[in-house]
Structure 1
Amino acid sequence: MAHPNRLSNARVLVFGGTSGIGFGVASLAASQGAYVIISGSKQPKVDDKVALLRSYYPSIPKEKITGHAVDLLDTTNHESNITALFDKITENGEKKLDHIVFTAGDFLHLPKIDTVTTDGALAGFSIRFLAPVIIGKLIATGKWMTTAPSSSFTVTGGTNTKRPMKGWFLGAAWGASIEGLMRGLAVELAPVRVNMVEPGAIDTELLQGFFATIGKEVVQQMKATNGLLGTFGDPSDVAEAYGWLMRDYNVTGTIAATDNGRLLTGVQLSGSFREAAEKRDDRA
């Protein structure tokens, strides 16, 4: 039989969909005829990226590409804010979601081992870990997502969990918590499928911001030592991993690695990358 386009008319919500990997996933889903909803922290940016995405696919009806802001840093109101978003985009559960992709995150502040505090150690969990916990809770109700293997929830990790750079010990811990959460939710939410994408260095707006602060020589060093391919990944590359996890109804509890072979290399990147990170404070 003819191979089906499993994203055609699927309803796909992308948290962090206004930039980088999340925007790449939204573009992939739109290209396959899905109903795409992107979410970010600020409505003006969401509106701009909805307009941009629509411009890429002018033949697609505008109602198939929409966006709504939600503040995931507001941990006190996580459940009420995400519930309100789900009610709005599903018309109170009448039009259920088929897939949720989570790429959101505030900018990482990475304390050094000799200056870390309890609050600093906990900060990285607010969006990357706590928001997916609440999303999992809401999926479990069955109100907003179809309870079937055709549905999926995909979270985002990173290679620093397995090969942390110096100064990234907390980043490794935060990433490991997401991996553990993914496996636990795969059991709790079955038959809804739960998986994780594990990107390496991806050429996003965030990485371009780093490049502006660390100098061309360090950028070239990073490119040469980042993995086996002598380059950085593109958001459109990584989007394919999320596409697989959405389309394959037989995969759950799995990590899709798209890392340029970084885990096979023996070179550690310089601390300049972490130092550049400390100078910036951006949000998706």
Structure 2
Amino acid sequence: MAGRTAVIIGGTSGIGRAVVDRFAAAGGAVILGGRSQETLDAELARIAGAGGTATGHVVDMAARESIAAFFARVPHLDYLFAPGAAYQVASIHSDDHDAVESPFRSKFWGQYYAVHEAAPKLSPDGAIVLMSGAAGARPVKGASAYAACNSAIEGLGRSLAIDLAPVRVNTVSPGTIDSDLWRRRPARQRSSAFDSYSRATALGRVGTVAEVADAVLFLFGNGYMTGSTLFVDGGYVLP
């Protein structure tokens, strides 16, 4: 990764942040995207303090114009990972249409337009890693649109691997991960969700952000892998 540049949108926390740390430690330069200038500034200072190289710009993954403005400031990149979506999970019975549509609006279309804007600036031997989620392959009750969104992202990855070749495009599909997102939720809710997920997996536990970040770096670097989905889910999607 030394001497290469990665755009990581959503790189100020969770899985994205773990990818940033690994990429910077390997000698790569990072262009961060985040929703808050204050958070971006703090992360850029942290990375610089650790000896890494990073710049960053504010971006809203639910707004096409914001994504376009972000990439207008990016001259060139070798890798793209854009998990920085904000959405809600709602039931088919919900009349909250904004909540129902939010996974597609932010997670699917956000990544789609990030790729659209990045593609002309990507190295021919570069790589894109999309992020879906294990619910796309094994849905949970009450999350139809969310499950469909994750499945759609995996289909998008396979199609882009053909459309953008020789640029490699793969998808990482995490299960439930002990991340900043879950740690901001009430302890009882988190414990119940973790216990339920753990019982549904072969390994009997939730994952870590480090384990997903390792998979992303693998997909960045493997020169003969494209059009695939890599499940980092402890065996959740096994029959």
Q: TM-score, normalised by structure 1?
A: 0.77
Give the Cα–Cα distance (whole angstroms) in 1 for the partners of residues 8 and 70 of structure 2. Answer: 12
**Distance of aligned partners of 1:89 and 1:114 in 2 relative to their CA distance in 1, 3 Å threshold:** closer
Deviation at 1:107, TM superposition (A): 3.1
Q: 2:106 aligns with which of 102, 119, 127?
A: 127
Q: What residue number does 1:268 align with?
A: none
Pairing 1:177–2:156 present? no
Q: Does 1:89 align with 2:69?
A: no
* Contact 2:6/2:29, CA 8 A, preserved across alignment: yes
| Aligned-partner Cα distance in 1 for 2:42–2:218 | 27
| Identical positions, percent | 30
Q: Which has the higher contact order (CA 8 A, sep 6+)?
A: 1
- Secondary structure at the aligned position of 1:128 is classed as helix
SS in 1 for 2:219: helix
Q: Distance in 1 between matches of 2:32 and 2:10?
A: 7
In 2: Cα distance, 1:107 partner to 1:50 partner? 25
Q: Whole-Å Cα distance in 2 between the matches of residues 66 and 118 of structure 1?
A: 36
Indicate conservation of the 8 Å contact 2:198/2:206, yes or no: no
Shift in Å, 1:40: 0.9
Secondary structure at the residue paired with 1:127? Answer: helix
- 1:69-80 equivalences under 5 Å are 69-74=58-63, 78=64, 80=65
Secondary structure of the residue aligned to 1:18 is: coil
Residue 137 of structure 1: how far off its partner (Å): 2.3
- The gaps in structure 1 that reach 5 residues or longer are 1-6, 91-95, 266-284
Give the corresponding residue for 2:219.
245
Q: CA deviation at 1:215?
A: 6.4
How has the CA–CA distance of structure 1 residues 225 and 194 changed in structure 2, closer, same or farther, with 3 Å as cutoff? same
- Secondary structure at 2:43's aligned position in 1? helix
**What is the deviation of 1:117?**
5.9
Unaligned runs of 5+ in 2: none
Q: Secondary structure at the residue paired with 1:98?
A: strand
Q: What is the one-letter code of the residue matched to 1:102? A: A
> Aligned pair in 2 of structure 1 residues 169, 182: CA closer, same or farther (>3 Å)?
same
Deviations 1:80-115 (A, max 9, x none): 43333223232xxxxx2000111111132x222223
**C-alpha contact 1:39 1:70 (8 A) present in aligned 2:** yes
Q: Distance in 2 between matches of 1:123 and 1:219?
A: 21
Q: How big is the shift at 1:9? A: 1.2
The code of the aligned residue for 2:215 comes to A
Q: Give how far 1:173 is off.
A: 0.7
Amino acid at match of 1:237: E
Specify the alignment match of 1:103 in structure 2: 83
Give me the whole-angstrom Cα distance separating, in 1, the residues matched to 2:235 and 2:185.
21
In structure 1, what residue type is equivalent to 2:82? F
The separation in 2 between residues aligned to 1:258 and 1:215, in whole angstroms, is: 19
Matched, 1:66 2:30: no
Distance 1:203 1:215 in 2: 9
Partner of 2:134: 159
Q: Which amino acid aligns with 1:71?
A: D
Displacement after TM superposition at 1:226 (Å): 4.6
Distance in 1 between the 2:58 and 2:46 partners? 16
Match for residue 12 of structure 1 among 6, 15, 19: 6
| TM-superposition CA deviations, 1:149-208 (whole Å, max 9, x none) | x20111101111111111111211111111111111111111111110000111111111
CA contact (8 A) 2:176 2:194 kept: no
- Relative to the length of structure 2, the TM-score reads 0.91
Q: Distance in 2 between matches of 1:124 and 1:262?
A: 21
Aligned counterpart, 2:116: 137
